[in-house]
Structures are given as structure tokens and as C-alpha cells.
């Protein structure tokens, strides 16, 4: 992976021997030819050829990718021939950057090391973005340009606990979300209200300073103002001068019907707001669904067990059965066995597509204790029931028992 530093120091066009405005086909052709000539298999032990082969490959990697080529061209245009020459051997290294003498990557310094000013408007990313976008409107979007152009808001993940019926039927819930945002007290400039930041005296507001090192000049983010170009004397008490605070907002989201426990649902555009006119991120909600004391769930079907008396099962009855939205009448025909399941269509999970059903299983309840009268009545009943309730088992026993 080539770094910004590579971009500044290396001339990829020269490496391939092509003109700076060479088209993709010319670049490909030049690369193929050089790669054939310089290939290590053809030049065993020739370290010079090997070095050239690597150069050519690296150059082609960058120049064959339109996006990276545009970034490269831009980096060269801005820093390539000028005084900006990050030196690997610079004594003391880069302030705030890599420790003494280590090579560093410009992208890291400008993109990442602005961390203290993080998401703050006017941070290092913005300044670098400004440098990169200057004079190249409508160019290929580079990472640096993205930092100053519209930025999509972050995706946010949160959790919601739903009651069983809410998950089945769908529900609208308020969700409290926390995300960093512009401090409302100082409107993001970091200064105590009534005061204002003043222009940084060190860099005169430029955000960058230059430093001579022998024949070379270095540009670096101003340490006084951390590259923002302004200095706050009296920091905002709310955000301690950072310009950013954690903000809580409550949003109302519709959880679709039929979500399951542990499911992660995506709500497009409900994440953190975009910056500088960018679109908002997405919101992911991990749902926790409480169990129901009454209903079970099997896919999109709901299950319910309803005890019935022997008399109801034998004589038939009409049951009133609860569903998640109102109750329904269920006709149980005479002679219904315990364990029989009836299907109530459309009263299951209200998911998109085919709605689920409610599966009602009747279970004959047997009284644990009998009054003397009940016992007498049942004994009479038993005498009145001639049928063997288990003829198949009787048959097996008669023919010599189960094997």
C-alpha cells in the first residue's frame, strides 16, 4: 500500500516511462512490456532489475486505479515539486507524530492525528481537505476531499426491549440515542459564550506552520491551535472548549411486525445526522422480545394451548379464544380428542407477505380431585362407555405382545 509520502517522493509516470496524461491503455501497455522485461524469472540474481520490477509494479498499482491515480496526481501537484519533503531522517521526527526519525505518513498526520479536534468543524481533516479540494472542483473524490465535503452520518446501534405482542404486531417506540454533536452552548467554536476565539498568533490563522530543515521546508499542523487557525482563551464550560458534546435525542421509530428476539433490524436514515449536508447514517436496533405467558411462537404462527373439560370435548363447545388483537370464537366439534390443534387463520404474526395463523391446541383437563358426587357420576359414565379407548394396543397385546 503506497502512502501519501510515496506519492510525494516517487514519480510513477517516469517509472513506467509514460506521459502524465497517458490514458489507461497506454499505461497498461507500458506496464506489460516492462513487467515482461524485468520479471525476476528472466533476470535471476539481477537486483537492479528486481528493484525496477518492484517500482514498475507499484507505479502500475496506483496509476491503473483511477481513484488512486487522481489522488496521486493531486498530491504531486500540491507537494511533489515544492518544499514539502517529509524526510525520513529528520531529527526529532514530526512533532506529535511518529517518534524520532521514523518515516511517517502524511495521510495519518492530517487525517488521523487531528484526533484531539476529532469531529470538530475546522479540524485538521477540514484543513487538509481544503488544500486538496482547492483548484480541483469536481475532481475524483479522494479521502481528503471527503473530509471537507458532505459527510454521511455515522451508523448507530441501539437496543429495544419489546413486549411479545409488540414484536408480533409491530410497534412505534421512542428511542433515546446519544451521539456527539455540535455543542449548543458555543455553537461549536469552543469559546465561552460572550467571548470568541481569536486568530492563532503562531500561524496567523492558517492552521499550518512551516519549519526549515536544512535545504527543506516542512509544513505541519500548527501546534498552538491544533490546526484550527484559532485559539480559545476562555473555553466553553459545556464542552470544555472542544466544540463537541454528547447529545441525547429521542427519535420515534416503527419496528415492523414479526421481529424475533435477538434480531437486528436496520432503519435506513435514522442514524446520526450527516455533516455539511451529507445524508444521515442508518440506525440498527437489536430487539429483545419478552416471552408471553400465554402464547408460543413457531415462525409466523402463534401457538396457544386451551384446556377443555371432558364434557366439552365429548359434547362439543364453542370456545372464546384470546388472540393478540381481540378474541375469536372457536368451534370445538363433539368428539374432539385431547391434543387436537385448530388453526385460526391470519391471527398469528402480522409479518409482511403471508400473515401467520394462531394454532389452538385443546387439552382435556382432568380434575385432580373428585367430589363423591362427581366420582359416582363418572363411574356411571364409565359403565356407559362400551368402547375400548385403545383398541390398537389391545390388539398388539392379544397377538403376543410388542416386539
Residues that bind Zn ion (CB under 5 A): 183, 185-186, 200, 202-203, 222, 224-225, 236, 238-239
Q: Which is nearer to Zn ion, 175 or 225 (CB)?
A: 225
Give, in degrees to the nearest 5, the angle at Cα 267 between 265 and 270. Answer: 140
Nearest residue to 270 (alpha-carbon basis) of 159, 150, 119, 156: 156
Residue 18: CB minimum distance to Zn ion, A: 41
Nearest residue to 253 (alpha-carbon basis) of 265, 267, 264, 239: 267
Give, in degrees to the nearest 5, the angle at Cα 329 between 341 and 348. Answer: 60
- Say how far apart CA 302 and CA 183 lie, in whole Å: 48
Residue 243: CB minimum distance to Zn ion, A: 6
Q: Which is nearer to Zn ion, 162 or 183 (CB)?
A: 183
Give, in degrees to the nearest 5, the angle at Cα 101 between 98 and 105. Answer: 45
Residue 229: CB minimum distance to Zn ion, A: 6
Residue 87: CB minimum distance to Zn ion, A: 23
Q: Which is nearer to Zn ion, 239 or 285 (CB)?
A: 239
Q: Which is nearer to Zn ion, 207 or 348 (CB)?
A: 207
Residue 154: CB minimum distance to Zn ion, A: 20
Question: Residue 285: phi, psi to the nearest 5?
Answer: -115, 120
Cell of 261: 428476539
- Say how far apart CA 173 and CA 176 lie, in whole Å: 10
**What stretch of H or E contains 28?**
helix 24-38
Residue 14: CB minimum distance to Zn ion, A: 37
Contact 270, 276 (CB under 8 A): no
Q: Which is nearer to Zn ion, 183 or 349 (CB)?
A: 183
Q: Which is nearer to Zn ion, 203 or 272 (CB)?
A: 203
Amino acid at each position: 500500500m503506497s502512502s501519501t509520502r510515496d506519492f510525494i517522493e516517487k514519480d510513477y509516470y517516469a517509472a513506467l516511462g509514460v506521459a502524465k496524461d497517458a490514458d489507461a491503455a497506454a499505461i497498461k501497455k507500458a506496464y506489460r512490456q516492462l513487467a515482461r522485461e524485468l520479471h525476476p524469472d528472466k533476470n535471476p540474481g539481477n537486483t537492479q532489475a528486481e528493484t525496477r520490477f518492484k517500482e514498475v509494479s507499484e507505479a502500475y498499482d496506483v496509476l491503473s486505479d483511477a481513484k488512486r491515480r487522481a489522488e496521486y496526481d493531486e498530491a504531486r501537484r500540491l507537494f511533489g515539486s515544492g518544499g514539502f519533503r517529509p524526510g525520513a531522517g529528520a531529527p526529532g521526527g514530526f512533532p506529535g507524530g511518529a517518534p524520532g526519525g521514523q518515516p511517517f505518513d502524511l495521510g495519518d498526520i492530517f487525517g488521523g492525528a487531528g484526533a484531539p479536534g476529532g469531529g470538530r468543524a475546522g479540524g485538521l481533516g477540514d484543513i487538509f481537505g481544503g488544500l486538496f479540494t482547492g483548484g480541483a472542483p469536481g475532481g475524483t473524490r479522494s479521502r481528503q476531499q471527503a473530509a471537507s465535503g458532505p459527510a454521511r452520518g455515522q451508523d448507530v446501534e441501539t437496543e429495544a426491549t419489546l413486549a411479545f405482542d409488540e414484536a408480533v404486531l409491530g410497534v412505534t417506540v421512542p428511542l433515546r440515542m446519544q451521539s456527539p454533536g455540535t455543542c449548543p452552548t458555543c455553537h461549536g467554536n469552543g469559546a465561552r459564550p460572550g467571548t470568541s476565539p481569536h486568530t492563532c498568533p503562531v500561524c496567523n490563522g492558517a492552521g499550518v506552520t512551516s519549519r526549515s530543515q536544512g535545504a527543506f521546508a516542512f509544513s505541519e499542523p500548527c501546534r498552538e491551535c491544533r490546526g484550527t487557525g484559532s485559539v480559545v482563551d476562555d473555553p466553553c464550560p459545556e464542552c470544555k472548549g472542544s466544540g463537541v458534546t454528547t447529545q441525547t435525542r429521542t427519535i420515534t421509530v416503527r419496528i415492523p411486525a414479526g421481529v424475533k428476539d435477538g434480531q437486528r433490524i436496520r432503519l435506513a436514515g435514522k442514524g446520526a445526522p450527516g455533516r455539511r449536508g451529507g445524508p444521515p447514517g442508518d440506525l440498527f436496533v437489536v430487539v429483545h422480545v419478552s416471552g408471553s405467558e400465554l402464547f408460543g411462537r413457531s415462525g409466523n404462527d402463534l401457538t396457544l394451548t386451551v384446556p377443555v373439560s371432558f364434557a366439552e370435548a365429548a359434547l362439543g363447545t364453542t370456545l372464546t379464544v384470546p388472540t393478540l388483537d381481540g378474541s375469536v370464537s372457536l368451534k370445538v366439534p363433539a368428539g374432539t380428542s385431547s391434543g387436537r390443534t385448530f388453526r385460526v387463520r391470519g391471527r398469528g404474526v402480522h409479518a409482511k407477505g403471508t400473515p401467520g395463523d394462531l394454532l389452538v391446541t385443546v387439552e382435556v383437563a382432568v380434575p385432580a380431585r373428585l367430589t363423591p358426587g362427581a366420582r359416582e357420576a363418572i363411574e356411571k359414565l364409565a359403565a356407559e362407555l362400551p368402547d375400548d379407548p385403545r383398541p390398537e394396543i389391545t390388539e398388539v397385546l392379544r397377538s403376543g405382545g410388542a416386539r
